[in-house]
Structure 1
């Protein structure tokens, strides 16, 4: 059963209704559910599927092609290996023309980067296949897919050769939202309250392959303990394979990820260059682009700043959790997470993870605030003191609205109703005052608190907070 993916399903329905040949480029990080989406949605239209083999030579890739072509069309006859990719696609054309269909039919080439082995001529052969034949078949949808998003962008979407501007549709598949995660786990008979679901999301994000490992009858703590801290836990060693499977020279990507993991508030491109960890600014730019397209990082434009001041943050929940609690940890075995989750480091991490999740669910927050149809720009904001006596402030999230209002948002993760103390009330008031003074904004400022279980009523909450949301707002279906 296909869960969520409403926007993507609408795009795929448009392909089925199209009167033209369509070439869809689908990409996204490993384990995000790309293959499952295509197989599930096009179950009745899929006539041929081929998946590249990781690190396999040309001969093995062509053997694999012959095997699956035999399975699809040759009715038990084992076809010989074609001598080249050009010959392979010619053979595919012969079988498609021998089995004509009026309704839409789908060809699915999965893990395309692995098919394009060095000196194999794959891209040139595919280019010829699409331009000389497939693009003229009005009942044909060709789906090309790959986890290596940077390869897909460079060699397919931004191809300068025969595939230039040939992609008719493009889908960058992202992890599940909290609402989709809740629906997915319910379909797996996993019934947890939203506080427990939030804890799972903080560790594994909305990655379907990870979520499949959650067992009915286990608490979030038990699941995290089993998957991350036992000998055969899926997520104990996943980090080592994750980036290596997506990128060439993945050590550079991992180095950048670790730098960002140590700076939860993010770093600018210039700050990353100044770290001295990379050969050049061009290298940093390329790595940032590849990690962004793969869904591991995000960039935010600080309020009142230009694009050169963009702040990059690590937003992949699993990577953040792994580097904080699993990497180089001496503690291991059953019960490890129960012990760790009682400490101060967990409290600090949970607060930051909750902020990240809130920033990822802006459509849901806007809907809950009643401004879904108002144009907005969201960002973080910080002020570093320039003179003695000044106070620096950090604002987790601000929503700059076209209706002349700015929501200054604070995201607070807690196990009960959040209490605004006198000291915290003074902090909030100082943030609002410094923001107004330094930005000179004339817009109305609303202090907005987003918490797990709401804010406990008291005079500070009544006088300071214009709007408050609970974690339920993050689970809204958008």
Structure 2
């Protein structure tokens, strides 16, 4: 690491240049120069410093919070493009790493750059939240040894975001931790929601409108429905906002069986946002003990069921591994009509479809006569609508497995439990 800099939040151009220059002088105290007045001069100074590094081996230049440095009318991006194209590409020993939390800037100005950085990206790293298994490992490394069920509840409330997970206190229950972080006066997640979107996106009000619209639908809605319910016209602006939210992991796009584009579903997949809008927003002034009351309510049961579905859709690779079909080509989709809906349909190349039914319970799940008839009806509707000749295997994904009875024996071919979702 030969140069490392992080942008200053809300710093102006002069602040950013001084910070940049200070880092160069800190690493090379013998370098004498006038203070740069613009970014072209600042990068020229960086080149002077780099020219003095003669040791063999790769040399890393790391620029963090890149969008914060690129203040309005500063021409920072122009100067960086010039530095990359006319200096870095002539040296084979330099690796330049840039990153930033302002997702809209990174996507539009860097990844989709049509100027000097067009097609210049060597490798793109999309930093995703932890999986369930990674969350378990992270918590154990901090001395927190929850059960799989408890970790799942934590995940459904705040996702696999390390910045949130590291706030959990050892020795406190799940309910106590959620209470402290989300509902008490100084709780970290009590006021995080609005700050989060404002820091990530330009014109974040439209992003928030999309998020709040999707939060009202547990199963997801089509683009046409989203446009109508949000009031954002179904044009380029909506496409841009959807792309930014998808790339940043806040919403997910689920194709419809047969790849019918107009029936593609958009679904809020960020656990914290869903939890905030469902519980924190209207209860954040309720104080200590709020969550310990709420998680016993009927609204918790409804939220937990749909949140567990979202969680499972994020762990499809673990589901396929549990089914031992990870080596078989398959596609994942949703399917629905006026009378039935399947959130996860795995269409395999070995003449089988897995119709996945997802249930979150604190005990083994029992298929009673009513649910048995519902499953039969759903499978028949799927067969009739798709005209498939494939075998349809009903696959139950549950927390603690199934109670065996005549209904489960007749219908269920596969039973995936919580521990399967924690696999690598």
Query: 1:156, CA displacement in angstroms?
Result: 1.1
Q: 1:394 aligns with which of 338, 341, 345?
A: 341
Alignment equivalent of 1:442, drawn from 382, 385, 389? 389
Note the alpha carbon deviations across 1:153-191, whole angstroms, 9 max, x for none.
211112111111111111111101111111111111111
- Contact kept in structure 2, 1:66 and 1:80, CA below 8 Å: no
Name the counterpart of 2:205: 251
The aligned counterpart of 1:287 is: 241
Q: CA RMSD in A?
A: 1.4
Relative contact order (C-alpha < 8 Å, sep 6+): which is higher?
A: 1
Does residue 463 of structure 1 match 2:410? yes
Q: TM-score, normalised by structure 1?
A: 0.86
Counterpart in the other structure of 1:345:
299
Question: Secondary structure of 2:345's partner?
Answer: strand
| Residue of structure 1 equivalent to 2:126 | 172
**Does the residue aligned with 1:453 lie in a helix, a strand or coil?**
coil
The Cα of 1:96 is off from its aligned counterpart by 1.2
Give the stretch that moved more between structures: 49-58 or 192-201: 49-58
Which residue of 2 is the match for residue 379 of structure 1?
333
Alignment partner of 1:329 is 2:283: yes
Q: What is the deviation of 1:280?
A: 5.1
Q: Contact 2:283–2:290 at 8 Å: present in 1 too?
A: no
After superposition, where does 1:180-191 map in structure 2 within 5 Å?
A: 180-191=134-145
Cα drift, residue 79 of structure 1: 7.0
- Does the aligned pair in 1 maintain the 2:184–2:284 contact within 8 Å? no
Q: Structure 1, residues 421-443: CA drift from partner, whole Å, max 9, x if none?
A: 11111111111111101111111
Match of 1:87 among 30, 37, 41: 41
Distance 1:122 1:104 in 2: 25
Could you list the per-position Cα deviations for residues 305-338 of structure 1 after superposition, in whole angstroms to 9, with x for gaps in the alignment? 4223321111000000000001122662111101
Distance 2:288 2:384 in 1: 52
CA shift digits 1:187-219 (9 cap, x unpaired)? 111111100000000011010000001111111
Write the distance in 2 (CA, Å) between the matches of 1:280 and 1:85: 39
The runs of at least 4 aligned residues of structure 1 exceeding 3 Å deviation read: 77-81
For 2:85 and 2:152, locate their aligned partners in 1 and report how far apart those are by CA, in whole Å.
47
Q: Distance in 2 between matches of 1:213 and 1:72?
A: 34
- Post-superposition Cα deviations, 1:208-252, rounded to whole Å, max 9, x if no partner, equal 000001111111111111100100111000001000001111111
The match for 1:267 among 216, 221, 232 is 221
1:319 maps to 2:273: yes
In the alignment, does 2:25 pair up with 1:70?
yes
The 1-side partners of 2:204 and 2:119 are apart by 29
Residue in 2 that maps onto 1:159 = 113
Corresponding residue number in structure 2 for 1:451: 398
Find the aligned partners of 1:80 and 1:445 in 2 and give their Cα distance: 73
Q: Does residue 405 of structure 1 match 2:352? A: yes
2:262 and 2:328 map into 1 onto residues whose CA distance is 26
Match of 2:262 among 285, 308, 333: 308
| Greater mean deviation of Cα atoms: 114-123 or 339-348 | 114-123
For residues 325-375 of structure 1, the C-alpha deviation after alignment (integer angstroms, 9 at most, x for no partner) is 011226621111010000000000000000000000011110010001111
Unaligned runs of 5+ in 2: none
Report whether the alignment pairs 1:54 with 2:9: yes
Matched, 1:141 2:88: no
Distance across 2 between alignment mates of 1:251 and 1:409: 36
Distance 2:248 2:8 in 1: 20
Name 2:169's counterpart in structure 1: 215
Larger mean Cα displacement after TM superposition, 254-263 or 157-166: 157-166
Distance 2:134 2:330 in 1: 24
The Cα shift of 1:101 comes to: 2.4
2:224–2:234 contact (8 Å) kept in structure 1 = no
For residue 116 of structure 1, the aligned residue among 49, 55, 70 is 70
Q: What TM-score, normalized to structure 2?
A: 0.97
Aligned to 1:234: 188
Q: Deviation at 1:114?
A: 1.1
Residue pairs, 1:357-376, within 5 angstroms:
357-376=311-330
Q: From the superposition, tell whether residues 193 and 87 of structure 1 become closer, same or farther in structure 2 (CA, over 3 Å).
A: same
Encode CA deviations 1:44-93: one digit per residue, 9 max, x unaligned.
xx221111122221001101111222222327x89764111111111111
Note if 1:430 corresponds to 2:377: yes
Distance in 2 of aligned mates of 1:411 and 1:70:
58
Q: What secondary structure does 2:124 align onto?
A: strand
Whether 1:193 aligns to 2:140 is no
**Which residue matches 1:16?**
none
Indicate how the Cα distance of structure 1 residues 78 and 243 shifts in structure 2: closer, same or farther if over 3 A, else same.
farther
Cα contact 1:368–1:469 (8 A) shared by 2: yes
